[in-house]
Each structure stands twice: as C-alpha cells, then as structure tokens.
Structure 1
Amino acid sequence: MAYVPGTALLAALVVSCSASTGTGGSAPDSKPGEPTVAAATPGKYSTLRDACRAVAPSTLKDLLPGAAELPEDQQKKVYEGTATVTYDTDRRVGCRWKSEAPDSSHTLFIDFERVVSYDPSVSDDDRAHEVYTEKETAAGLSSPSATPGSTKEAEKQTPPSSEPKANSASHALSGPASEDKNTGKPTGGSADGKSSEGSDTDGGTGGNAGSGDESLLPRTLDNLGDGAFLDDQLTRAGSTAQNRTVSVVFRTSNVIVTIEYTEQPTVSTVLPDSKELQDKAQSLARKLVDNFSE
C-alpha cells in the first residue's frame, strides 16, 4: 500500500500546476497595473428609416401646394419623392420633393445622418453632439447661448454687400428684399437694400415686413430633440427671382436630421412669407422627432 501516498502527492502537484497556469481556474487577462479601457456606449439608433416614407401624405399635401390638383399619376410621382444617392443607407439617407403651382414652386428636402464614433472612448451620442455643434456654428449660431438679439447684433457688425450671399444669415431678413410681399413696394429700405437710418425694418420677412419681429431671425430652438436650430435665407434664383429657404436641423441621440423647405414665387416682386415657412418646417421637425421616438 506504499503507492497510495505517491499517487496522492502526484495529484496534488497536478492540481497546483493547473491552478497556477490558469487551466483549472480563471487567471487575469491583463498584466498588473495595465489600464482597462471601457467601450463607450453605442448610439440609440443602429439603422435609419426610409426618408422618402418618413413624411405622411397629409403633411406633404400641406407642404407642396399645387400637387393635389395634378392628375393622379403625377400626384403619386410628386409624393413619392426622389431618394438621395448614398453609399451606405444605414449611415445616411435623404429624399427630395418638388411641386409647381401657378403662383409659386415649393421644394422639400430631408436628410438623416446616423453618426458613429470610431473612438472607443467617445460614445456615438457625444460624437453626434460634436457634428451637430459644427453645423450650428457654420450657421452663425453659437451653442446654446445664441439668441435672436445676439444674432441681430452680429449682423450690424457685418458690412453690407451688393449681392445676396446664400450662407449669410443677414440676408435671411434683410437686403434688397425689403418690400411688401403683395405690392412689391419698399417697406422702409432704400434701393440698395439698406434699411433707412433709425428704422426697425425686417425687410424679407414676407407678411411681417417692417414689424421688427426678432422671433423670425435664425436661432436655436427649444424642446426639439437633443438640440436644434433654425436658419432662414433669402437668395436670388436668377436675375430677378428670389426664393426663401428655411432650414431646421436637430439631433436626436446619434442621428442628425436636416430639413430644408424652399418657396420661390412666380412673380419676382412677391416675397415668400418667412413665418409661414418657418412654422411648417418646425411642425415637420416635431413630427419627425416623434417618429424617431416610436
């Protein structure tokens, strides 16, 4: 029976070696003192919905006047929209609609961008916030302290230009568009587009021309996603025609949504109503936020 203690000793050695090599238990994966990097939280959205189906037909009818009077086959084509060509529909999708009416044409464009962070220490949401802030800054608004008053003060510092600029916030509510939308007559502005000294004319706000309504200036928006801003641009579409584009950009988690709503009147002396376009663009933005929340 002398072999029994030897067997027991051999078994003990095997167990001891297994424990020390990790074959019989869990050993640390990293060396002592080595920092552990936790992966950042992924974004809420991993895919994007079809942009051309994101807007309800009833909303499109309101945003695209004139389309409802078209023959049924043409109506269908207008309301279907045209998808934006993208290389990865899980990262970016868009759609464009256009309608023609006797007195004006309207164009609606929406864009969904899903932001992904490739830095394990930065979450998708944080990276999306950075991208959104860049867009807000490019629009001439500083997050989130920008106010209509501060924007207007910045406009006073900008030298007047003889030609409207597509990316100039000052042309959203000023310039040669200072005339009544119905009569085409000046409303307190001079022929070169400068406001008369001492006047508080908004010139380019359509039905609100001359009211001095600062609420229609480019601005940040409250209670819309995780951050939002509105821009309003009045530009020339040729030698005489002018169009107005209202843009609403908002972020919801790791998705950034851009809405561009444009009206171009048939008669060059008629200006698009800023308030109406802004109200409709904001209404659509709130519907899209609700859709993302579903």
Structure 2
Amino acid sequence: MAYVPGIALLAALVAGCTGSSGTEDATADAKPGGPTVLVAPPGKYRTLPEACRSVSTATLEQLLPGVAELPEDQREKVYEGRASVTYDTDRKAGCTWRAPSADSTRTLVVDFERVVSYDPSVSDEDSAAAVYGKKAEAAGLPAPSPSAGPSSPSPASPASPGDATASPSAGDGVAPQGSTSPTAPASLAPSTGDTGDGSGAGHSGDSENAEDTENTAPRTLDHIGNAAFLNDSVESGGSTAQRRTVSVVFRTSNVLVTVRYAEQAIRAADAPESAELQEKAQALARGLDESINE
C-alpha cells in the first residue's frame, strides 16, 4: 500500500496517571538504638490511564483507515477497543483496536505497566528502568545505564488546550495528585501549521524522525520519556501475506508504555511499507508521553 507523505496524525488523547511529585529523597527508617535504614522513594505514578480511552476517535480514524468503510455499529465497536485481561488495572492495562480495509488490516495495541519495587532499598523508578532494560536487550539493543537521565525534551509546541474532534469520554481520566481536574489531552498536528481542528503546530523534531523511518533496525529514540526504543519486524510464512509490526517502548518514571502498530497485507505478494507505520507509532508514543506528564 502506497504511503502518502505528510499525512496528519490527529489528536492522541491520554488520561494522565495519578502521580506524586517524584522528587522525594530516600527516607530514613530507624528504630531506637538500631541501624539507620534508607528507604527508597515511591514511584511518581500510582495509577494508570484507562487504556481503551487513551486514544481519541480522531486518531483511530487515522491509524485504522479501514474503519471509515465499516457500518456505523461496527465502527463504534472498533472505537471502543478490546481491553486486555488484567487483575489489577492500577498495575497493568492495555487495549487493542483492529480494522480491515480493502488491501490490509491494521491493528493498534497500547499497553501500560506501572512498576512497583518490593525491595525498600530500590526505588520504583529504578525497578522500572531494570524492566525497560530487559525489554531493550530482548529487542537487540544494549541495556541503558541505570543512572541515565531522561531523554532530551521535545521542543515546545503551541498546542491548544484540547481537541474539538475528540470523543466526549476521552478526557475522563485520572488527574495528577492534587489536581482538581483531569489532565489536559495531548495534541499532535502536522508540522506545516494549524489544521483548523484546534491543534497547534507539530514538533520541530518530526522531520528528523521522518528521515529515519526507512531504517528498520532496532534503535533508541529521543524526545520520548526517560528512555525509548523502536523495533520494526516483518513476519512472513511463504504464501501467507506479510505482517509488519512497529513497536515503540518507552519509560516515564515508574511507568512503561508499549505501542504496537501493525499492518497485515491482504495479498501475499504485497509487503506493508515501514515509513508510515514508524512515523505514526512514534507520533502516538510522543502524545502519550506528553499527556501522562502534564
């Protein structure tokens, strides 16, 4: 399927995680006459967004182009997504959206994981960094240093407070601790300027990312969370049509987020192209990260 450069990924709406300031120093826990024991600070985030409300209807229309061809009742089911089975939605949450089109089927999966350390001497954030490191190594990348700081921040964009095309329920998320209202939704827009839909200018780093979207090797990414990487893989079974999956995994404090964006070709001779999938997966990951941290 041909990819049209410059296609706009509309708003990605994410309910923010409930968080503490994340700046507390380790506290001393000592009994009278006993040795002082340093207790690591708790994680910044204590809950997770509702996964099936983490992506707006407008964004799903862009990520799953086949949804527009479905009857209205089927479109609504696609927009609702299918929640992952989990026994504690404050620790793990996920959602899957899937829609066929004339020449392919696209699938989007968003997973959230809040890491909690059961070792009082190890912080939740350090534990999350260790979990992220294992995921990076499994993708063929070197594990990041535990002392590594956050990725370089993205250039600020004049995003508007909301998205007029968002579904009414998309902002009903958990507000940061101490806040009286839900976290404002993130706004993604093309770098050419205002689209007229209430979103602002895009990131100046988008063009740099777009130049690298033909690179299918696993690689680290800048401007997303404390650490992030991308993996691009193709599955093929002889006469079976090829399936390409682009995964973006990132860590923000003690929360890990995984975006998996896949395209399954209808005809065996067709191969899903990489550039569009990579560009949209990265854009969605940036929007999720920005909204979680608002």
Short-chain TM bin:
0.5 to 0.7
Does the aligned pair in 1 maintain the 2:214–2:275 contact within 8 Å? no
Question: Amino acid of the residue matched to residue 70 of structure 1?
Answer: L
Structure 1 unmatched runs, 5+:
1-27, 146-211
Residue 277 of structure 2 corresponds to 277
Higher Rg: 1
Residue 104 of structure 2 corresponds to 104
Residue 32 of structure 2 corresponds to 30
Residue 243 of structure 2 corresponds to 243
State the structure with bigger RCO (CA 8 A, min sep 6), 1 or 2. 2
Residue 259 of structure 1 corresponds to 259
Identity of aligned residues (%): 59
Question: Amino acid of the residue matched to residue 76 of structure 1?
Answer: E
Does the aligned pair in 2 maintain the 1:216–1:275 contact within 8 Å? no
- Asked if residue 140 in structure 1 is aligned to residue 140 in structure 2, the reply is yes
Does the aligned pair in 2 maintain the 1:110–1:258 contact within 8 Å? yes
Per the TM alignment, residue 223 of structure 1 is displaced from its structure 2 partner at its CA by: 1.5
Give the Cα–Cα distance (whole angstroms) in 1 for the partners of residues 265 and 240 of structure 2: 11
Does the aligned pair in 2 maintain the 1:243–1:265 contact within 8 Å? yes
For 2:232, what is the secondary structure of its paired residue? Answer: strand
Residue 126 of structure 1 corresponds to 126
For 1:215, what is the secondary structure of its paired residue? Answer: coil
For 2:39, what is the secondary structure of its paired residue? Answer: coil
Per the TM alignment, residue 102 of structure 1 is displaced from its structure 2 partner at its CA by: 0.7
Does the aligned pair in 1 maintain the 2:228–2:249 contact within 8 Å? yes
For 2:240, what is the secondary structure of its paired residue? Answer: coil
Residue 149 of structure 2 corresponds to none
Residue 62 of structure 1 corresponds to 62
Give the Cα–Cα distance (whole angstroms) in 1 for the partners of residues 65 and 264 of structure 2: 12
Give the Cα–Cα distance (whole angstroms) in 2 for the partners of residues 72 and 240 of structure 1: 30
Give the Cα–Cα distance (whole angstroms) in 1 for the partners of residues 213 and 59 of structure 2: 27
Question: Amino acid of the residue matched to residue 97 of structure 1?
Answer: W
Give the Cα–Cα distance (whole angstroms) in 2 for the partners of residues 86 and 286 of structure 1: 25
Give the Cα–Cα distance (whole angstroms) in 2 for the partners of residues 280 and 29 of structure 1: 54
Give the Cα–Cα distance (whole angstroms) in 1 for the partners of residues 281 and 219 of structure 2: 14
Per the TM alignment, residue 38 of structure 1 is displaced from its structure 2 partner at its CA by: 2.3
- Asked if residue 47 in structure 1 is aligned to residue 47 in structure 2, the reply is yes
Give the Cα–Cα distance (whole angstroms) in 1 for the partners of residues 244 and 31 of structure 2: 61
Change (3 A) 1:128 1:82: same
1:106-127 C-alpha deviation (Å, 9 max, x unpaired): 0111110000001110000000
Change (3 A) 1:275 1:214: closer
Per the TM alignment, residue 266 of structure 1 is displaced from its structure 2 partner at its CA by: 1.0
The normalised TM-score by structure 1 is 0.65
For 1:43, what is the secondary structure of its paired residue? Answer: coil
Does the aligned pair in 1 maintain the 2:213–2:275 contact within 8 Å? no
Question: Amino acid of the residue matched to residue 72 of structure 2?
Answer: E
Does the aligned pair in 2 maintain the 1:218–1:230 contact within 8 Å? yes
Residue 90 of structure 2 corresponds to 90
Residue 149 of structure 1 corresponds to none
Give the Cα–Cα distance (whole angstroms) in 1 for the partners of residues 86 and 116 of structure 2: 16
Does the aligned pair in 1 maintain the 2:42–2:123 contact within 8 Å? yes
Residue 230 of structure 1 corresponds to 230
Give the Cα–Cα distance (whole angstroms) in 2 for the partners of residues 57 and 222 of structure 1: 27
Question: Amino acid of the residue matched to residue 115 of structure 1?
Answer: V
Change (3 A) 1:237 1:74: farther
- After TM superposition, which residue ranges in structure 1, 4 or more long, deviate above 4 angstroms? none
Does the aligned pair in 2 maintain the 1:237–1:243 contact within 8 Å? no
Change (3 A) 1:233 1:216: closer
Structure 2 unmatched runs, 5+:
1-29, 146-211
Per the TM alignment, residue 237 of structure 1 is displaced from its structure 2 partner at its CA by: 5.4
Does the aligned pair in 1 maintain the 2:213–2:274 contact within 8 Å? no
